[in-house]
């Protein structure tokens, strides 16, 4: 299994890592591994969600019934009267 060494880790980051490891009943090394794995997974998830959302928007019509739309000034007036 590969090893990783991090040099010049800022003290506040190290303290947070130690605190989190203590709360999760893990070693510092185990906690660092878990956090790295979560961060790497999370970095791909927004891209997938964004891609799916864009695809959904492409398939959906922009306006379903244009006759029911209110003019922008009516919407602004309604919002100001609230």
**pLDDT over 90, % of the chain:** 56
76 belongs to a structural domain: no
Residues 33 and 6: their CA atoms lie apart, in Å, by 12
Q: How many domains does the chain have?
A: 1
Give the domain range for residue 55.
1-61
81 belongs to a structural domain: no
46 belongs to a structural domain: yes
DSSP class per residue in 15-77: HHHHHHHHHTT--HHHHHHHHHHHHHHHHHHHHHHHHHHHHHHHHS-S-S-GGGPPPHHHHHH
Q: Is the pLDDT confidence value at 19 over 90?
A: yes
28 belongs to a structural domain: yes
Mean pLDDT of the chain: 89
71 belongs to a structural domain: no
3 belongs to a structural domain: yes
């Amino acid at each position: 299994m590969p090893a990783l060494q991090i040099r010049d880790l800022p003290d506040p980051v190290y303290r947070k890592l130690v605190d989190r490891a203590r709360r999760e009943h893990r070693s510092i090394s185990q906690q660092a591994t878990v956090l790295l794995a979560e961060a790497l997974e999370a970095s791909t998830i927004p891209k997938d969600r964004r891609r799916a959302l864009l695809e959904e928007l492409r398939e959906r019509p922009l306006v379903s019934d244009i006759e029911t739309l209110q003019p922008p000034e009516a919407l602004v007036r309604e919002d100001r009267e609230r």
